[in-house]
């Protein structure tokens, strides 16, 4: 085991897959000589060469389109977008081409799109979004969002090896502030949920950076048995784990950093309402960002994004219901 940051774990997964599988190719804006916007790929150019670590033009549409061609030709391209917000620029190639390729032509498109997501660092409205719900709506695309270094490595390995297009949502706020034990060898983590904390009185469903926030929020709630389920995979959703947890705990709090309308938490709430209605002892409570652009101002950003205090108060209210 090694102690790695979230960022180091992502870099480690990429490096190990590129060492063991020569079909894995890395591409994106400034990923080669510069090492990527967040230095995830620092040193990769020297180790793997310019044929496998490729700087691209500033065009997300071109990046995804090229990756699709590579994928159907036998390669496994991993594309880095500098910020998740810019996935909108590559939407046509990702949603209408990559996601539908198997359905239309029976061809695999083993491409991975790495999206640095989320706020919490005063990045403003063009560098702080959580666009995973857009992609959950697109057939043929898998969407994962790890919350820990161990899961970041294992889920990225699974994404690269998967024959389908996978969008890998890596939260920028976790890059250097979250650290944990990670196995040194290569391993693949399944696209299923993970129980972070065992409990019986209340279940919190969340993913990404909100797992850490939820964990901190419930630590001070003495006398309460609270479970936290890290969804990890948004497409496919681990329906069995969601239903089992909600039915056993009876009270449900769902936390989304993304805008609340049609977010991942809405789908979780729908599943729980459908399958666990008779087991619930209170209303399904959701916390999410309001449907506004993320502000530049740190105090305004903090007011918009879900945080520890909002989660703690919501949990208290549900426990007292």
**What residues act catalytically?**
127
Query: Other C-beta atoms within 10 Å of 265: how many?
Result: 25
Strands of 252-259's sheet, edge to edge? 194-197, 226-230, 202-206, 252-259, 285-289
Distance CA 113, CA 79 (A): 5
The DSSP 8-state label assigned to residue 33 in this structure reads S
Q: Is the peptide bond before 311 cis (omega within 30 degrees of 0)?
A: no
Distance CA 5, CA 314 (A): 30
Distance CA 308, CA 230 (A): 16
Distance of CA 218 to the CA centre of its chain: 22
Strands of 24-28's sheet, edge to edge? 53-55, 24-28, 76-80, 112-117, 166-171, 142-144, 233-235
């Amino acid at each position: 085991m090694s102690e790695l940051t979230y960022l180091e774990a992502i870099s480690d997964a990429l490096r190990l897959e590129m060492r063991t599988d020569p079909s894995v190719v890395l591409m994106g804006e400034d990923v080669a000589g510069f090492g990527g916007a967040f230095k995830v790929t620092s040193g990769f150019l020297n180790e793997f060469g310019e044929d496998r670590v490729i700087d691209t033009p500033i065009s997300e549409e071109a990046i995804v389109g090229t990756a699709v061609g590579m994928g159907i030709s036998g390669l496994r391209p991993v594309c880095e977008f500098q910020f998740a917000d810019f996935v909108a620029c590559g939407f046509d190639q990702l949603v209408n081409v990559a996601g539908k390729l198997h359905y239309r032509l029976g061809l695999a498109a083993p491409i991975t799109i790495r999206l640095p997501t989320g706020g919490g660092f005063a990045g403003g409205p063009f560098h702080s979004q959580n666009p995973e719900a857009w992609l959950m709506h697109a057939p043929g695309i898998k969407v994962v969002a790890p919350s820990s270094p161990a899961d970041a490595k294992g889920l990225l390995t699974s994404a690269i090896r998967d024959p389908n297009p996978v969008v890998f949502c890596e939260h920028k706020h976790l890059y250097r502030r979250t650290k944990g034990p990670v196995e040194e060898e290569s391993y693949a983590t399944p696209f299923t949920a993970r129980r972070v904390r065992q409990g019986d009185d209340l279940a919190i469903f969340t993913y990404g950076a909100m797992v850490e926030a939820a964990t901190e929020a419930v630590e001070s709630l003495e006398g309460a048995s609270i479970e936290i389920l890290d969804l990890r995979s948004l497409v496919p959703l681990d329906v069995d784990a969601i239903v089992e947890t909600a039915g056993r705990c009876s009270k449900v709090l769902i936390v989304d950093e993304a805008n609340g309308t049609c977010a991942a938490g809405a789908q979780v709430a729908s599943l729980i309402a459908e399958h666990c209605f008779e087991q619930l002892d209170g209303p399904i409570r959701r916390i999410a960002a309001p449907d506004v652009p993320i502000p530049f101002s740190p105090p305004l950003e903090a007011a918009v994004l879900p945080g520890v205090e909002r989660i703690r108060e919501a949990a208290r209210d549900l426990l007292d219901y």
